[in-house]
C-alpha cells in the first residue's frame, strides 16, 4: 500500500528553516543522510565520480557537494528549496574556499532550474522521500542528465512487510514525508524514462543498524538537546526515531540505492 499525505513543499521548508534542520545536523553531521561521509564516498565510487559535473538534488547544507569537490575534483551544483539550508551551504563553501567548484541554487526538485542534458551525474542522498511527485522528480532528474550520464541516489522507502495505517500515520508525520517509493517503484520510474539500470541495493540491515545508532545517540544527548531545543522537541524526536528504528527492524521501511544510465 502506498500511503499519501498532504504535506507540501512549504511544510518541508518550514521544518528545515527551523529546529528540524539543526537537529538533523546535530544527529547526523553536515552530510544529512544515513552513514555520513562514508556513504558519500561509497556512492561516488559506484558512480565513478572524477572531474565530473554533478547536480545534487536536495543538497541541504552541502556537505556532500563540498566532499565531492575536495575528494574527486568534481564541479557541483546543489539545488534545494530551503533558504536557510542554502545560506548555510553557501557560507560554508566560501569559508572552505570552494566557491569556484561548488555553487548552490534555490529551486524545486519538481521543476529544476537546470538546463536539459547538462549534467554528467545527477545525485541525491536520502532526500527525495520529501518530494511529493516521484514520477515528475525522476523525469526532471533524467531531463537534466546528459545522454550516457548517470543518475545515482539513495532514499528512504517502504520495505517488504506492510505498515498499518496507524504506523504509517506516525512515521510519515514525524518525517513530513508526503509518500514513499519502493525499491521496484524507483526502478520502474527510471526505466519509464529510458534509463538502463546498472545497480540496485536494498540497504535494509544497514538502515536498521543506523536507526539504532541514532536512537542511542539521541538518548545520550538528551540533556544537551533539551537545553538547545526544549523538552517537547526532544520527546517528539525520541518517539519518532524509536518508531523508525522498530519499523526498520521489522522490514517495514528500508533504504535503497539506485544507479542508472541515461541512454
Ligand atoms: C535530508 S535533507 C538532504 C540531505 C542532503 N542530501 C545530504 O545528504 O546532506 C532534505 C533536504 O531536501 C530539501 N527538499 C525537500 N523537498 C524539496 C524539493 N521539492 N525541492 C528541493 N529541495 C527539497 C530540504 O530543503 C532539505 O534541505
Distance CA 192, CA 138 (A): 9
Host domain of residue 189: 9-262
Residue 70 in domain: yes
Strand segments (E) across 133-216: 145-158, 195-202
Pocket lining: 9 vs ligand 1, CB cutoff 6 Å: yes
Measured CA to CA, the distance from residue 56 to residue 154 in angstroms comes to 12
Q: Does residue 1 belong to any structural domain of this protein?
A: no
Q: For residue 62, give the ligand 1 atom closest to its CA.
A: 9
pLDDT digits (tens, 9 = 90+) for 154-212: 999 999 999 999 999 999 999 999 999 999 999 999 999 999 999 999 999 999 999 99
**Any domain includes 2:** no
Residue 244 lies in a domain: yes
Three-state secondary-structure class, residue 4:
coil
Residue-wise pLDDT for 14-34, tens only, equals: 999 988 889 999 999 999 999
Measured in degrees and rounded to the nearest 5, phi and psi for residue 232 equal -60, -50
Tell which atom from ligand 1 comes closest to the C-alpha of 56: 6
- Helices and strands (H, E) in the chain, number of each type: 11, 7
Which pairing describes strands 253-262 and 145-158: parallel, antiparallel, or unpaired?
antiparallel
Task: Tell me which residue has cell 545534487.
Answer: 56
Q: What is the pTM of this model?
A: 0.98
Q: What is the pLDDT of residues 58-70, one digit of tens each?
A: 999 999 999 999 9
Q: Is the CB of 16 inside a 6 Å radius of any atom of ligand 1?
A: yes
Q: Residue 258: beta bridge partners?
A: 153, 200
DSSP codes of every residue in 9-50: HHHHHHHHHTHHHHHHHHHH-SS-STTHHHHHHHHHHHHT-S
Tally the domains of the chain. 1
Nearest protein CA to atom 10 of ligand 1, as residue: 127
Separation of alpha carbons 69 and 116, rounded Å: 22
Q: Which CATH number does the domain housing residue 69 bear?
A: 3.40.50.150
Assess if residue 215 is contained within a domain.
yes
| Structural domain includes residue 14 | yes
Q: Is residue 39 within 6 Å of ligand 1 at its C-beta?
A: no
CA 61 to ligand 1 centroid distance, Å: 9
In a domain, 197, yes or no: yes
Q: State whether the beta carbon of 85 lies less than 6 angstroms from ligand 1.
A: yes
* pLDDT at 2 exceeding the cut of 80: no
Distance CA 141, CA 192 (A): 13
What atom of ligand 1 comes closest to residue 85's alpha carbon? 27
Amino acid at each position: 500500500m502506498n500511503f499519501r499525505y498532504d504535506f507540501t513543499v512549504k511544510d518541508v521548508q518550514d521544518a528545515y528553516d527551523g529546529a528540524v534542520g539543526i537537529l538533523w545536523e546535530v544527529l547526523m553531521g553536515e552530510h544529512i543522510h544515513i552513514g555520513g561521509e562514508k556513504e558519500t564516498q561509497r556512492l561516488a565510487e559506484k558512480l565513478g565520480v572524477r572531474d565530473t559535473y554533478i547536480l545534487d538534488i536536495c543538497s541541504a547544507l552541502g556537505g556532500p557537494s563540498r566532499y565531492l569537490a575536495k575528494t574527486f575534483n568534481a564541479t557541483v551544483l546543489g539545488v534545494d528549496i530551503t533558504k536557510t539550508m542554502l545560506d548555510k551551504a553557501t557560507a560554508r563553501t566560501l569559508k572552505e574556499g570552494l566557491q569556484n567548484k561548488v555553487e548552490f541554487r534555490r529551486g524545486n526538485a519538481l521543476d529544476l532550474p537546470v538546463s536539459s542534458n547538462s549534467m554528467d551525474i545527477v545525485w541525491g542522498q536520502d532526500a527525495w522521500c520529501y518530494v511529493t511527485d516521484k514520477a515528475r522528480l525522476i523525469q526532471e532528474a533524467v531531463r537534466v542528465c546528459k545522454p550516457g550520464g548517470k543518475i545515482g541516489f539513495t532514499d528512504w522507502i517502504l520495505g517488504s512487510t506492510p505498515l498499518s495505517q496507524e504506523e504509517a500515520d506516525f512515521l510519515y508525520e514525524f518525517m513530513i514525508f508526503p509518500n514513499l517509493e519502493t525499491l521496484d517503484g524507483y526502478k520502474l520510474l527510471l526505466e519509464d524514462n529510458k534509463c538502463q539500470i546498472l545497480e540496485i541495493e536494498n540497504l535494509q540491515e544497514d538502515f536498521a543498524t543506523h536507526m539504532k545508532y541514532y536512537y542511542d545517540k539521541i538518548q545520550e544527548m538528551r540533556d544537551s538537546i533539551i537545553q538547545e531545543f526544549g523538552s517537547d522537541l526532544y520527546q517528539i524526536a525520541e518517539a519518532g526515531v524509536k518508531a523508525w528504528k522498530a519499523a526498520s527492524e521489522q522490514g517495514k521501511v528500508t533504504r535503497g540505492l539506485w544507479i542508472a544510465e541515461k541512454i
